[in-house]
Amino acid sequence: MAEQTRFGTAGVPPTFRMLKAKMYDVPSLLREEGLDAFEYQAVRWGSQPQITQQDAGKLGAEAKKHDVRLSMHGSYFINLAGKDDVISASKERLIAGAIAADWMGAYVIVFHTGFYGKLEKSNAFKSCLKALKEVNQTIKDMNLKVKLGPETMGRKFQVGSIDEIMIICQEIENTQLVVDWGHLHARDLGTFKKVDDIRVVAEKIESTLGSKMLQNMHCHFSKIEFSSQGERKHHLLDEPRYGPEFELLAKVIADFQMHPTIICETPILDIDALKMKKMLQQVLEGKTGVDP
Ligand SMILES: [Zn+2]
């Protein structure tokens, strides 16, 4: 069967929480709804995994059984451009996530690279590359089967423009391109207004990293509110005040024959993930009013 675009949620949907679902129930519940990806949120972790190997294994087995692709969002407390002690703690946190990702069979650990702080942007970025090379070596030495997924970031003071993320993907082995489209929209203060605005980014990725990296990208999507500094808040797909519109990305996915994994980050997770899935189906079937 040809690869196809997968849709899933960033963490456990609110309705599952109300059902008091166990973590290992999540893959079957998502599958019942028609979804096939799940991003486990390890966002508050320190230097040790906060799930047991047994529980991680159980989640992984359920995901496999129901064909739900697992990814992990690593700790928010990572800054690979900070002072030495901050960088070494950040590396430990990233590796703790990678260990647990390997236990559960998550294919990528998504992370936020760092902050420019008082450094020159180029020096901050160099520091990130150096630290990531070291993390990648540790992942290799420990034989962990997980890719590093640097994410495009929504605030101007965060490392994570599309150009920086592409350089990381070129320079560091074993990386997975992670594009948060809402973040890019916010970082550049509302850049995605028509299909071509997204197509330009897709073309840049294709020419820099190749078709395979473009077609297999890992995405985050939500509508987003921003100020002059960039990202402020994630919003529902139904809120007309905010962008970007998912239809624009759907059109580009169809044009470039992409089959990304798309993780919904709006406040209603699964409901909006299903909405995106439906929109993409309509575009693929040619039933859409989106302007080319
Ligand atoms: Zn993120």
- For residue 26, the CA-to-ligand 1 centroid distance in Å is 20
> Which residues fall inside 5 Å of ion ligand 1, going by CB?
151
Q: What is the DSSP string of 109-140?
A: EEE--EE-TTS-HHHHHHHHHHHHHHHHHHHH
For the chain, the residue count is 292
Phi, psi of 18, deg, nearest 5:
-65, -30
- For residue 18, the CA-to-ligand 1 centroid distance in Å is 25
Contact 55, 23 (CB under 8 A): yes
- For residue 21, the CA-to-ligand 1 centroid distance in Å is 24
Phi, psi of 126, deg, nearest 5:
-60, -40
- For residue 242, the CA-to-ligand 1 centroid distance in Å is 19
- For residue 131, the CA-to-ligand 1 centroid distance in Å is 19
How deeply is 97 buried, as exposed, middle or buried, from its count of CB atoms within 10 A (0-12, 13-18, 19+)?
buried
- For residue 112, the CA-to-ligand 1 centroid distance in Å is 6
- For residue 211, the CA-to-ligand 1 centroid distance in Å is 24
| CATH no., domain 6-284 | 3.20.20.150
- For residue 180, the CA-to-ligand 1 centroid distance in Å is 8
**Predicted pLDDT at 21:** 92
Task: Give CA 65 to chain center in angstroms.
Answer: 23
pLDDT mean by block of 10 residues, the chain; 292 residues: 87 92 97 98 96 98 98 97 96 98 98 95 96 98 98 96 98 97 95 97 98 97 93 92 94 96 96 97 80 51
- For residue 115, the CA-to-ligand 1 centroid distance in Å is 14
Q: Which two tokens stand for residue 129?
A: 């590359």
Question: Whole-prediction pTM value?
Answer: 0.95
CA distance 266 to 151: 17
For 257, half-sphere exposure in the C-beta direction (CA atoms, 13 angstrom radius) is 4
**Predicted pLDDT at 3:** 82
**Predicted pLDDT at 1:** 47
- For residue 150, the CA-to-ligand 1 centroid distance in Å is 9
**Predicted pLDDT at 256:** 96
- For residue 25, the CA-to-ligand 1 centroid distance in Å is 24
User: Could you tell me which of 277, 208, 204 has the C-alpha nearest to residue 37?
Assistant: 277
Phi, psi of 149, deg, nearest 5:
-120, 85
Residue spans of the domains in the chain: they are 6-284
